[in-house]
Amino acid sequence: AQSVTQLDSQVPVFEEAPVELRCNYSSSVSVYLFWYVQYPNQGLQLLLKYLSGSTLVKGINGFEAEFNKSQTSFHLRKPSVHISDTAEYFCALKRTDTGRRALTFGSGTRLQVQP
Amino acid sequence: DTGVSQNPRHKITKRGQNVTFRCDPISEHNRLYWYRQTLGQGPEFLTYFQNEAQLEKSRLLSDRFSAERPKGSFSTLEIQRTEQGDSAMYLCASSTQNRGSGNTDTQYFGPGTRLTVL
């Protein structure tokens, strides 16, 4: 079985400050990793994904994440946040084999950017 | 490319009634997924279609739930005899199979249907 743990349910931060949203995962098989963002009353939008290769992944809106296999982590970072980054962020994984197509999500981290 | 669309966006119903939701995937996406998201939680997988075949079903999908994708295009999710515990956001996603790339396809999500059972 696979699971995703997002260690912080809420992260308050001031505008233009850096932010890190933490994600740890557990899996007995190899996985792909994803970060999605959800704005109020909207669906999920893909920020970035790790499939293979470089462990530092760059995504949209200035976000990046680093895959750390030894620590089973995939933390999301942004060097300078904007008010518009206020949203819910979800870390997710999917098996690399074709046995199961479903995404497994964490419970989310609410990023609150204050002026 | 108009994205994944879902209808209705909101549905309020009384306990015991049946409800049906529709999902239109991105055109030519052959894979379609349903997820359920309750307040304060991440989405949970319900079921998956490849073309018209339903290939995966979660334990969350009780016998009151049924999903179809009859022509491999749009899909419907029906909940019979709704219960208050069914109140949630129901999300649909679609993806396209990448040749020879295993499980790397990206799932694109629709805006969801918010169900409230009174």
pLDDT tens-digit readout, A22-35: 999 999 888 999 99
Q: Determine contact, residues A36/A46, Cβ cutoff 8 Å.
A: yes
Rounded Cα distance between A19 and A111, Å, is 9
pLDDT score at B40: 87
Look at A108 and B55 and tell me if their CB atoms are within 8 Å: no
Task: Name the 3-class secondary structure at B38.
Answer: coil
Sheet containing strand B5-7, strands side by side: B5-7, B19-24, B75-79, B65-68
Rounded Cα distance between B43 and B45, Å, is 7
Closest CA to B106 of A111, A65, A59: A59
Look at B56 and A101 and tell me if their CB atoms are within 8 Å: yes
pLDDT score at A92: 97
Q: Determine contact, residues B10/B113, Cβ cutoff 8 Å.
A: yes
pLDDT score at B100: 59
Contacts of B43 in chain A (CB under 8 A): 44, 90, 103, 105
pLDDT tens-digit readout, A62-113: 999 999 999 999 999 999 999 999 999 999 999 888 778 899 999 999 999 9
pLDDT score at B72: 85
The structure tokens listed for A102 are 């479903």
Which secondary structure element, helix H or strand E, spans residue B48, and what is its range? strand B44-50
pLDDT score at B99: 64
Q: % helix / strand / coil in chain A, to the nearest 5?
A: 5, 50, 45
Q: Any residues with CB less than 8 A from the CB of B114 and at least 6 apart, and which?
A: B9, B10, B11, B88, B89, B90
Rounded Cα distance between A42 and A30, Å, is 30
Rounded Cα distance between A97 and B73, Å, is 25
Chain B CB within 8 Å of residue A107 CB = yes
Mean pLDDT taken over chain A: 94
DSSP A69: T
Rounded Cα distance between A70 and B19, Å, is 46
Residues 10 to 49 of B: which have CB under 8 A from any A CB?
A: 31, 33, 35, 40-45, 48
pLDDT score at A90: 97
How far A35 CA lies from chain B's nearest CA (Å)? 11
pLDDT in tens, chain B (118 residues): 579 999 999 999 999 999 999 999 999 899 999 999 998 899 999 999 999 999 989 988 889 999 999 988 999 999 999 999 999 999 999 998 766 556 778 899 999 999 999 9
Place of tokens 């029906």: B78
Rounded Cα distance between A18 and A58, Å, is 16
Task: Name the 3-class secondary structure at B86.
Answer: helix
pLDDT score at A77: 98
Task: Name the 3-class secondary structure at A83.
Answer: helix
